[in-house]
Structure 1
Amino acid sequence: MRMFGSLPRVSLLALMLAPVLVAMAEAPAAAPDATAAESRSPDARTLDQVEVIGQATSYAKTSVRQESLNRQHIQSSVNDALNEVPGVVVSEADPTGSSVWGTQISMRGFTTNRDTQQIGTTIDGLPNGGSSYGGGSLANRYIDTLDLETVEVSQGTADISSRSNEALGGTLNFLTADPLQEKRLRMVAGAGDNDARKYYVRYDTGLLGGNTRAWVSASSARTNDWIDGSGHARNDRIAGKFVSELDKWTLTGYLSYDDSDEPEYTSVTPQQFATNPDGDNLTGKLTGIPYLDQNFRSGSRALRENTFGYLRAAFNGDNGFKASVAAYGHHMEGRGDWIPPYLVQVNPDAPGTQATELMGGKTVYGGTNIGQIYFVNPDGSVAAPIAGCKPRLGFSAEYDPNCYASNVHGVQSYRHSHYDNDRVGFTADVEWRQTFGAIDNTIRGGLWYEKFDRSVTRDWHRLLNPGTDISFDHQPYWVQYKDNYSTDEKMYYVEDVARFGPFSARVGVKQFFVDQSRSRVIGASENVSSDSKSDPLVSAGVTWAPPVQGVEVFAGYSQNYAAIPSTVLGETDPARFRSVKPETADNIELGVRISRWPLTAAVTLYNIKFDNRIVYLPASLVKGIDYLNENDGVYENFGGVESNGVEATLGYGWDNGWRINGSYTYNRSKYLGSGDTARDTQLGIVDGAIVIGQATQIVVLSAD
């Protein structure tokens, strides 16, 4: 269940019992009462909520503060740490962020959730593979909250080097903590509402051989859903990182494994929420009536296993030349569950004979959906509803057991969607900084290549004891389809930054090349392929430091891009798909920063126009191709979104260590119509209407 509002959400688990911290090490060691802040790397790369002055950053870039991370309860997701960043709202179905289905991140009118990806995500600068329900994965599948150093948030006019093809509205770069210089063993335990509990341990090696340090961590977390407690979530994780400094080279490696099994929450309408704000229409008990039991919470689950790792080598020639190369890999296996209130009839059994789907032992691959089986007679044959039966309120006759003979038995399926994803890729970056008279000039460039192969398989299993439990026959009675997807992605960028006196200017260009294909291995569907590329995407900006200490004015412009999602390949006919174009956005920013102790402040004005929005059109709205009546609909580029707003931050500190921070965001995001009033009306698009799910005003206050 998602909720949107003007103020950040306060979770029950934020009040969980204070974690028990035990720090042990061979000398020298951290004090037993060390704070969470001391437990993080002394080489922290975090910044305050205002970017450091003088870095020629001509766009809004902020980082999650250490104090914000220290306030997170140990079972929160790394995404929740973003809620104190100006203009960012993270909505999660529960305080632990355990629901893939119910997580949404919003920023400047752009959204990342289970089916819309408009905000880029990277892990230590490397791509997460997308944030859709079927993977890649959200950042909380790669990093434990206690291993997080910070999150760099590039809003709107994102860093040109960002390795993401979803960054229409900016990029979130989640940075893992570096190993400590000293040896340490850290153990953390926490407990809270809804039987929440987590155990975490991390060991830092300290310096090995004078140039290498590493850590390894493990955690295990459990919680129940907050509605009726019937859904049990589990998450287990192990991760490690090393850093080796060898003369002019720095080698870094990271590896993580995450195993999660989580019940989902379902979406509710505003009317349903007003009627019952404490429920989501899922239930915790089986009734024996399949139509009701399809809402059994434990039958709607997301199972995910993620393994991610990278190796990076960075060179610093101490003469203005820097370079880095990185290689990474990611494997995800996942499953999404649901228990439909019927069996799908895929075998042409004669009337009055036992239903093959009920008996088990046979699997149909592909095939045709003949119909649905809702109830069966004692002999296993398909039961028919009583003619003329008037069903109870909320039921149709085929679902109502009162419309059948008294001795029938309800049947159900356990439908699985299997995801198997493999990604490998590499990045390369170079930078050369030289002084030419009064001009301090830096030119940099880079490449990114990724090979992404994934498969999606949907199969159907019979429930063995409908109404009693959800155990199922592990041999499916129907494998509905299997699709193989392949994506080759390439990106280059080049940028020049010139600093002269109080001014700096930058200009750059980047371009994406994306080749995608989908082949149907099981089932009937045409194969689809797409070879697309973006236009050269321009990025430019200027900064000016006026003769006032600690003040910097900046302005920036960028063209952002999102590749056609691979899901579109699976649901659009090949002929129509050729006309679908990638989504694009133009970002303009103007702002001022102040960093002068004890004051930090910033104000940013922005305008973003998002074009070529990809929208699913029902078949009734598709014109010109008669055979499309055989399909449910297609995807097309249809209108867009325009956002205007202001973000303001203010911080003030005292010499005794206390600091207050606050931010205010006003955002107005509106839909842009297609120019076809009839089509807009049927799709529910009102030109100029406020975008659904985007907070208009956001206020954040904190004291540390």
Structure 2
Amino acid sequence: MKAARLADSVSTVLKGVRSSGRVPLASLLVVAGIQATPAFAQSSGTSDARTLDAISVIGTGSTRTTAAVTADEIEAQVPGVAPQQLLATLPGVNVQTTDPFGLYEFGDSMRVRGFSSNQIGVTLDGIPIETADTREGGPISRYISSENLLDASVSAGSGDVTQPSYHALGGAIRYTSIGPRGGDTWSGKASQTFGSDDLVRTFVRLDTPEWWAGGPVAYVSASRTRGGVWDLEPATQKSDHFETKIRQDFEKGHLTLGWIWNNRKDYDVQSYNSDGSLAWDIHERLTGDPETDAEHYTEWQNGRRDSLLSLGGDFMFTDSVGLKFTGYYENKHGYGIGGTPPSTATGLYEDAMAGTPGRTDIYIRDPQLYQVDSDGNYVLDADGNRIVTHVGSMTRREEIMSGDRKGVTAALSWETDSNKLEVGGWYETYDFDQVRPLYNLTDTGDLDKSVPYIVNYYDNHFSTDVTQLYVKDTLRLLDDRLTLEFGAKGLSVDRKYHGIANLDDFNSNTTRNTAKKDKDWFQPQVGASFTLAEGTEVFANYAENFSAAPRLALTAGYFNPDIKPEESKNIDVGIRTEQGNWSGYVALYHIDYQNRIIALTDPDPLVIASEIYQNVGDIKTDGAEISGMWRPAEGWRLGASLSYNKSEFKDNYYGYRDDGSGIQDVLRPSKGNEVPDSPKIMLSFNGGWEGEHFFANWDAKYTGKRYGDTMNTDRVDATFIANGSVGYKGGRDGFLGGGRVMLSVYNLFDKDDAIGAVFPNEDYGSYNLVAPRQVFASLSYDF
């Protein structure tokens, strides 16, 4: 298909989304007094008209709960907003970021129906994105700018069997980018944003016409973001991002070559207790005392650089037989530094020397830090601690991460008038290395690598091979009123590890090799949807999912080769409708989450404790969601969603505690407790008005009370955060022709003590606050 036809098709789809009205079971929403939330149209965004059909944002025709964001909702947010933040108003989704741009990745979190972001499958244009782990994986904001996003859809209960992932217990998220627009002329977009905390962001995208008649089309985009930290004034956050795609259309399909590059740097931010008080105080000023200055903000930094290269194809060999494939290669590199008090470094050094006497591979400056008596014994204070008499030069922990991930997905389809059969698979290999040495510093404050390090917390090397196969058959019966889906996937995850797993291994000069292979070759999924009347259908889905044991289970202080992989069984039922200017759905769900794996560890950032991974029982989840959108008049949209989620532990378990005489088994009474960071009630509203030139948008989210710990003793109060924006857009000509200016306000009511991200643990959690009111002004042009 010619590039101009592609541009027309994309434009038609996007205009259709904007002009059609959508919202959930209007009658139920009116009775409930709620103006429903959005769940919106998807498009594959590919160049082939056969795959450009607009799919409903509430998943019309799907056999599972599906919701998506619209182009309107994307445009309503400040340019460059974190892509995951766009999902915050969808039912069942709890997204928290330290700022709208998600610049501090360690302060961001997401949960869907009680499952964490590391238990959700994520793809971008069909490419599997690793977990949201900021070390091994990466948040979606590293891979796409929101200006390049066509849509984002969430299958909250279970992803389709075609979804490539080895940890998708709790659903799937599919992000789709806007491909090269093509056409007969050059086109593009540019935006500039300024705002609170010295935020400056620049974005540029340029689309080419056909390079020659019948030739390829392409786009390049780049962004640069610089900002500060609201509660740590001298600290900065930086991100540079680049994307490009080249697409060549053929008579039978197309090929797309893409490259994404992202480079970011940030400073760690302070963490808080559940009551909003400061838990980890990072200092803004140097004192001259290395013991105190180990907590200076310059001693806590992170950097990440990611490069993702891909080649995908979509071909229809006949009217009924098609092939899709994507090959990809990703290279990761990251670093992190953390200050360590000299007294702590000395203790680590002494432990290593005691563990392996006479070793010469480590070195510490000024080891005599403590007061000793005439017999050479340490003098202790009233609390039994050694008395520091001399503070030596600073020490600093360095962390270096690198990874190479490569894989391929492929799917062959055969479609007739009433049946579509899909057979496909995914293979990936991933090598990931992570090293954490502790160094002395030179007189100028740099890492002193001219002498051996003090200790090495760990030296980890992982190799992961993933194989997934699936088959799916879709039947359309009764004049397409009834859709039946039958599918199954098989998954094998083979992990190998070698290296120094922790400080205990380092002290005893031990290197270990461990391996764990998890597999389940039959994970069935059965679903159905039935049209009751035009625009209204019921749906039901049953799916079984499987998640491999986490990589760090191989490095645990007590490695358990018999640890079972986690599993989930999900049942979804519901009704959805689209009627003129409103649409929406109601869904009920039940999830059995089995063989839950937890790590018993110390969250203190200065301590790298031995971790113990174990299966500790099951979780039962029941819930309901109502969502929809209403367009009462031209230019208006009003949406809302209401979620009820009850996730509870079904079992007690035994945990490990060191009482001073050794590690002991201790009963942890978790049965009946709520799963941490899983609010029972979430309610969101959004809406907008758009006139000929002026426009306004708003959204608000109520997040019910949560717990930060398994024992449910560390409670977080409910929060209500509202955002809004107003602006002016020019026409084709005249004042601000082709331009758009917008003023956006986040945390409109300045809730400066509200808890945002929650990072759970057994007895207490770690928390980040929602940033106080932030204001951003942006100017953008389409050309």
Q: TM-score, normalized by length of structure 1?
A: 0.80
Higher relative contact order (CA 8 A, sep 6+): 2
Partner of 1:598: 581
Question: Amino acid of the residue matched to residue 305 of structure 2?
Answer: E
Contact kept, 8 Å, 2:291 with 2:391, in 1: the verdict is: no
SS state of the match for residue 430, structure 1? strand
Distance 1:368 1:49, change over 3 A: farther
Question: Which position in structure 2 is the counterpart of 1:159?
Answer: 160
- Which of the residues 51, 65, 74 maps onto 2:70? 65
Q: Secondary structure at the match of 1:230?
A: strand
Cα distance in 2, alignment partners of residues 235 and 328 from structure 1: 23
1:194 and 2:197 equivalent? yes
Deviation of 1:72 (Å): 2.1
Q: Could you say which residue in structure 2 is the equivalent of 1:424?
A: 406
The 3 A distance-change label for structure 1 pair 111 and 235 is same
One-letter amino acid of the structure 2 residue matched with residue 518 of structure 1: Y
Q: Determine whether 1:97 maps to 2:64.
A: no
| 1:192-236 deviation digits (Å, cap 9, x = unpaired) | 111110111111002333353210011111111110312111111
In 2, are the aligned partners of 1:49 and 1:65 still within 8 Å (CA)?
no
Q: Which residue of 2 aligns with 1:561?
A: 546
Q: Which amino acid is 1:461 matched to?
A: Y
Which moved further from structure 2: 692-701 or 609-618? Answer: 609-618
CA contact (8 A) 2:64 2:527 kept: yes
Partner of 1:700: 684
Confirm or deny: 8 A CA contact 1:346 1:368 kept in the other structure: no
Q: SS where residue 285 of structure 1 aligns? A: coil
Matched residue SS, 2:345: strand
Matches of 2:307 and 2:367 in 1, distance apart?
46
SS at match of 2:232: coil
Distance 2:44 2:190 in 1: 19
1:564 alignment partner, SS class: coil
Amino acid at match of 2:487: G
Flag the 1:569–1:289 CA change in 2: closer, same or farther, 3 A: same
Give the aligned partner of residue 121 of structure 2. Answer: 120
Measured at CA, do residues 677 and 312 of structure 1 come closer, stay the same or move farther in structure 2, by a change above 3 Å? closer
- Aligned-partner SS, 1:286: coil
Conserved 8 A contact 2:166-2:493: no
- Mapped to 2, the partners of 1:415 and 1:674 lie a distance apart of 37
How many angstroms apart in 2 are the aligned matches of 1:503 and 1:583? Answer: 33
Cα distance change on mapping 1:557 and 1:367 into 2, 3 Å? farther
Shift of 1:633: 5.3
Which amino acid in 1 is paired with 2:393?
A: V
Q: Counterpart in 2 of 1:335?
A: 335
The equivalent residue for 1:304 is 304
Q: How does 1:130-209 map to 2 (within 5 A)?
A: 130-182=131-183, 183-208=186-211, 209=213
Look up the SS of the partner of 1:568 in the other structure.
helix
Q: Distance in 2 between matches of 1:475 and 1:110?
A: 46
Q: Distance in 2 between matches of 1:701 and 1:153?
A: 18
Please, which of 85, 93, 113 is the counterpart of residue 90 of structure 2? 85
Is contact 2:409-2:424 (8 Å) kept? yes
**Residues 616 and 60 of structure 1: CA distance in aligned 2, closer, same or farther (over 3 Å):** same
Q: CA deviation at 1:476?
A: 6.4
**Residues 611-635 of structure 1: per-residue CA shift (max 9 Å, x gap):** 111123589xxxxxxxxxxx94532
Aligned to 1:5: none
Q: Provide the secondary structure at the position in 2 that maps to 1:647.
A: strand
Q: What amino acid is aligned across from residue 668 of structure 1 in structure 2? A: K
What amino acid does structure 1 have at the position aligned with 2:250?
A: L
Other-structure match for 1:22: none
Hey, what's the Cα distance between the residues in 1 that align with 2:44 and 2:398? 46
Q: How does 1:269-284 map to 2 (within 5 A)?
A: 269-271=273-275, 273=276, 275=277, 281-284=281-284
**Quick one: structure 1 residues 103 and 261, their matched pair in 2 at CA, closer, same or farther if it must change by over 3 Å?**
same
Against the structure 1 CA distance between its residues 580 and 211, is the aligned structure 2 distance closer, same or farther, given a 3 Å change threshold?
A: same
Query: How has the CA–CA distance of structure 1 residues 462 and 71 changed in structure 2, closer, same or farther, with 3 Å as cutoff?
Result: farther
* Separation (CA, whole Å) in 2 of partners of 1:144 and 1:109: 27
| 2:653 and 2:669 in contact (8 A); partners too | no
For the 8 Å contact 2:399–2:434, the answer to whether it is kept is yes
Instruction: Find the counterpart in structure 2 of residue 409 from structure 1.
Output: 391
**Please, which moves more after superposition, 479-488 or 185-194?**
479-488
The amino acid of 2:520's aligned partner reads: S
Whether contact under 8 Å (2:652, 2:670) holds in the other structure is no
User: What residue identity is the alignment partner of 1:672?
Assistant: K
CA, structure 1 residues 281+213, in 2 after alignment: closer, same or farther (shift >3 Å)? same
Counterpart residue number, 2:671: 687
The Cα shift of 1:78 comes to 1.4
* 2:496 aligned to which of 513, 517, 528: 517
Q: Which moved more, 1:441-450 or 1:652-661?
A: 652-661
- 3-state DSSP of counterpart to 1:427: strand
Q: How does 1:37-76 map to 2 (within 5 A)?
A: 50-53=57-60, 55=61, 57-76=62-81
Contact 2:43 2:151 in 1 (8 A): no
| Structure 1 counterpart SS, 2:105 | coil
Q: Secondary structure at the match of 1:242?
A: strand
Instruction: State the match for 2:438 in structure 1.
Output: 460
1:609 paired with 2:592, answer yes
In the other structure, the counterpart of 2:326 is: 326
Residue 416 to residue 675, structure 1, CA distance change in 2 (3 Å) = closer
One-letter code of the match for 1:177?
I
Give the match for residue 385 of structure 1: 371
Please say if 1:508 is aligned against 2:487.
yes
In structure 1, what residue type is equivalent to 2:165?
S
Contact 1:102 1:266 in 2 (8 A): no
CA distance in 2, matches of 1:610, 1:417: 34
Residue 352 of structure 1 corresponds to which residue in structure 2? none
Residue aligned with 1:207, SS: coil
Aligned-residue offset at 1:347: 11
In structure 2, the residue matched to 1:14 is none
Residue 570 of structure 1 is matched in structure 2 by 555
Over 3 Å counting, the alpha-carbon distance change for 1:325 and 1:476 in structure 2 is: farther
Cross-structure match for 2:565 = 582
Residues 186/689 of structure 1: CA separation in 2 closer, same or farther (3 Å cut)? same
> C-alpha deviations, 1:182-201, integer Å up to 9, x for none?
42132211111111101111
Contact 1:49 1:649 in 2 (8 A): no
Q: Do the aligned partners of 1:346 and 1:367 also contact (CA within 8 Å) in 2?
A: no
Partner in structure 2 of residue 316 of structure 1: 316
* Matched pairs, number: 611
Structure 1 unaligned spans of 5+: 1-29, 350-355, 357-363, 620-630
Choose which of 423, 426, 432 in structure 2 pairs with 1:445: 423
Q: Give, in angstroms, the shift of residue 124 of structure 1.
A: 1.2
| Separation in structure 2 between the aligned mates of residue 615 and residue 128 of structure 1, nearest angstrom | 23
Asked whether the 8 Å contact 1:211–1:246 carries over to 2, the reply is no
